[in-house]
A and B are shown apart, each in its own frame.
Chain A
Amino acid sequence: MQALFDATHEVDTAGMAAVCRLVRLPDAGGASDQDAWLLDALEVLRDESNAMLAEARKRA
Chain B
Amino acid sequence: MDRWARPRPESITLDGVPRAVEIARLSVGEMANVRLYIRMLSLQEQRLATLADRPVLEQLAIARDERDANEQLGTWISEVVTTSLRPVTPWLALSGVEVVDGQSYCAAYDNDAILAAFWAIYLRNTLTEETRKNSASPRGSADGSPQSESPRRGDAPESPAGDVLPSDSTSAAAVSVTTFPIANPSGTTAAASRPASVLSAV
Q: Is the interface of B mostly helix, strand, loop or mixed?
A: loop
A–B Cβ pairs within 8 angstroms, 28 of them: A5-B153, A8-B202, A26-B199, A26-B201, A27-B1, A27-B201, A28-B1, A28-B201, A31-B28, A32-B27, A33-B27, A33-B28, A33-B29, A35-B25, A35-B27, A36-B25, A36-B31, A37-B127, A41-B157, A44-B131, A44-B135, A45-B153, A48-B136, A48-B153, A49-B153, A51-B139, A55-B149, A59-B143
B1, B142, B157: the one within 8 Å of A34 (CB): B1
Contact yes or no, A36 B157, CB < 8 A: no
Instruction: List residues of chain B with CB within 8 A of the CB of A29.
Output: 1
Task: Say whether, besides A29-B1, A55-B148, A59-B142, A39 and B28 are in contact (CB < 8 Å).
Answer: yes
- How many residues of chain B have a CB within 8 Å of chain A? 33
The binding surface of chain A is classed by DSSP as: helix
In the docked arrangement, what's the CA distance between A38 and B132, Å? 13
Point out the residues of chain B lying under 8 angstroms from A49, CB to CB: 153
Please report the C-alpha to C-alpha distance between residue A47 and residue B126 in the assembled complex, in whole angstroms.
Answer: 17
**Is there a chain B Cβ closer than 8 Å to A18's Cβ?**
no
- Contact assessment for B30 and A36 in the assembled complex, using a CB-CB cutoff below 8 Å: yes
Q: Which of A36, A38, A44 has the most CB of B within 10 A?
A: A36
Closest to B194 in A: A37
* A3 contact set on B, CB distance < 8 A: 198, 202
Known: A1-B198, A2-B154. Contact between A41 and B127, CB under 8 A? yes
CB of B12 within 8 A of chain A?
Answer: no
Contact between B153 and A33, CB atoms less than 8 A apart = no
How many angstroms between the C-alpha atoms of A24 and B202 in the bound complex?
Answer: 9
- Give A31 to B131 CA distance when docked, in angstroms: 23
Q: Which residues of A contact B152 (CB under 8 A)?
A: 2
User: Contact: A36 with B135, CB < 8 Å?
Assistant: no
Interface string of B89-133 (1 = CB under 8 A from A): 000000000000000000000000000000000000111000110
Chain B residue numbers with a CB within 8 Å of A36 are 25-28, 30-31, 125-126
- Closest chain A CB from B84 CB (angstroms): 11
